[in-house]
Amino acid sequence: MGKKRIIQKSEEELLKEREKIETAVKKEAKVEVLPGKINEGKIYITSSYNNTIITLTDMKGNVLAWTSAGTIGFKGTKKATPFAASKVAEAIVQAIKKLGIQKLAVFVKGIGSGRESAIRSLAARDLDIVSITDVTPVPHNGCRPPKVRRV
């Protein structure tokens, strides 16, 4: 089979990749401004083993903006990293600032690695976070065990 060669990226390639991600984060979020001022909102953070998705809604539950690690530009296993989750949180904060929302309630769901870093990134952006709630589904008793095997 021959020697295995490890491809190492040069500093220029790493800088280009980083700039690409940062420009995607700074890119204008698609936000529809609804009639009337929105002061309160809810943020839903869904963190799985494969991706982190953050959704911004009003108090009724109507979606105002959403973003994920995939839409920012991360691919493959990089979508599930805490760094990607913090970048997703930065992107949603820009939408929050654009809409002028002051009070936020955060709901976290899932067991991925990005949930903690997404919350920390939201808290570091000078937002008035009213509550943080974990809404991860937990089984009460599990499914029924199989019958005893008879040989």
pTM of the predicted structure, to 2 decimals: 0.74
Say what the pLDDT of residue 13 is. 81
Residues in the chain predicted with pLDDT less than 70, given as ranges, are 1-2, 26-36
**Residue 78: inside a domain:** yes
| CA distance to 31, 32, 92, per residue, from 35 (Å) | 13, 10, 20
What's the CA angle centered on 21, arms 40 and 95, to 5 degrees? 15
Give how many domains the chain has, as a whole number: 1
User: Is 124 contained in some domain?
Assistant: yes
95 belongs to a structural domain = yes
Above pLDDT 70, what percent of the chain? 91
pLDDT at 117: 93
User: Residue 27: what pLDDT?
Assistant: 64
For residue 90, tell me if it sits in a domain.
yes
Predicted pLDDT of residue 121 = 93
End-to-end alpha carbon distance in the chain? 48
Range of the domain at 111: 37-134
Q: What's the pLDDT score for residue 88? A: 93
CATH number of the CATH domain containing 97 = 3.30.420.80
pLDDT tens for each residue of 116-143:
999 999 999 888 999 999 999 988 888 8
